[in-house]
Amino acid sequence: PLLQLKLWNKYRVSNIPSLIFIDASTGKVVCRNGLLVIRDDPEGLEFPWGPKPFSEVVAGPLLRNNGQTLDSSALEGSHVGVYFSAHWCPPCRSLTRVLVESYRKIKEAGQKFEIVFVSADRSEDSFKQYFSEMPWVAVPYADEARRSRLNRLYGIQGIPTLIVLDSKGDVITRQGRVEVLNDIECREFPWHPKPVLELTDSNAVQLNEGPCLVLFVGME
């Protein structure tokens, strides 16, 4: 039981079933969402399922809510928020309302920033209704394979999740939701991680992300 608990903690398993692929020679995690892998690639054609660049995984047409499309190559050179969300999820709808304002402020400040909505809605109609509220772009709902690959790339285990990428496609923070809610004026965009944080209800989730040092200090 102790070994099992260590493995659960080491790989931050929060729900079951969970399948994680590891490179035995290095011990590094190759893919967190193994269940999606074997569903999407039952023949093992993409083995060993290692991470690919964001630009490669997102490649293809992206939608605007007015029906226009643009190619994902248009994201090059911009900071990008990859937004995993769904209309049926109340915390998602709450975050979307705040995120619309944040997006507007960041764009008005002259920053190169785009958000890509990756839907977890349960129908195309629900997706269209939700996306109609969003001023950014989305992966087409019908392109389930691409949506699934993006979920796999970032090991998404819950929504809403906002992953913020730099202009090269590298992750700046997985805690975009916390950052947006704690920085309504977007003064700290693109939200590079700070060396020290004051522990709050909203950022306590980061204690699950890796080793942490928690310092308790007196009121003085």
Please indicate, yes or no, if residue 199 is contained in any of the structural domains.
no
pLDDT tier at 96, thresholds 50, 70, 90: very high
- Are 43 and 105 within one domain? no
- Are 102 and 174 within one domain? yes
Mean pLDDT score across all residues of the chain: 91
Please indicate, yes or no, if residue 209 is contained in any of the structural domains.
no
pLDDT tier at 63, thresholds 50, 70, 90: very high
Q: Which domain holds residue 126?
A: 52-191
202/54 Cα distance (integer angstroms): 27
The whole-number pLDDT of residue 89 equals: 97
- Are 22 and 125 within one domain? no
Give, rounded to a whole angstrom, the gap between the first and last alpha carbons of the chain.
43
Instruction: Report yes or no: 71 and 78 within 8 Å, Cβ to Cβ.
Output: no
Check residue 79 and report its DSSP letter: E
114/82 Cα distance (integer angstroms): 9
pTM (2 decimals)?
Answer: 0.82
Q: What is the pLDDT of residues 152-206, one digit of tens each?
A: 899 888 999 999 999 999 999 999 999 999 999 999 999 998 888 788 776 777 7
The whole-number pLDDT of residue 202 equals: 65
- Are 86 and 160 within one domain? yes
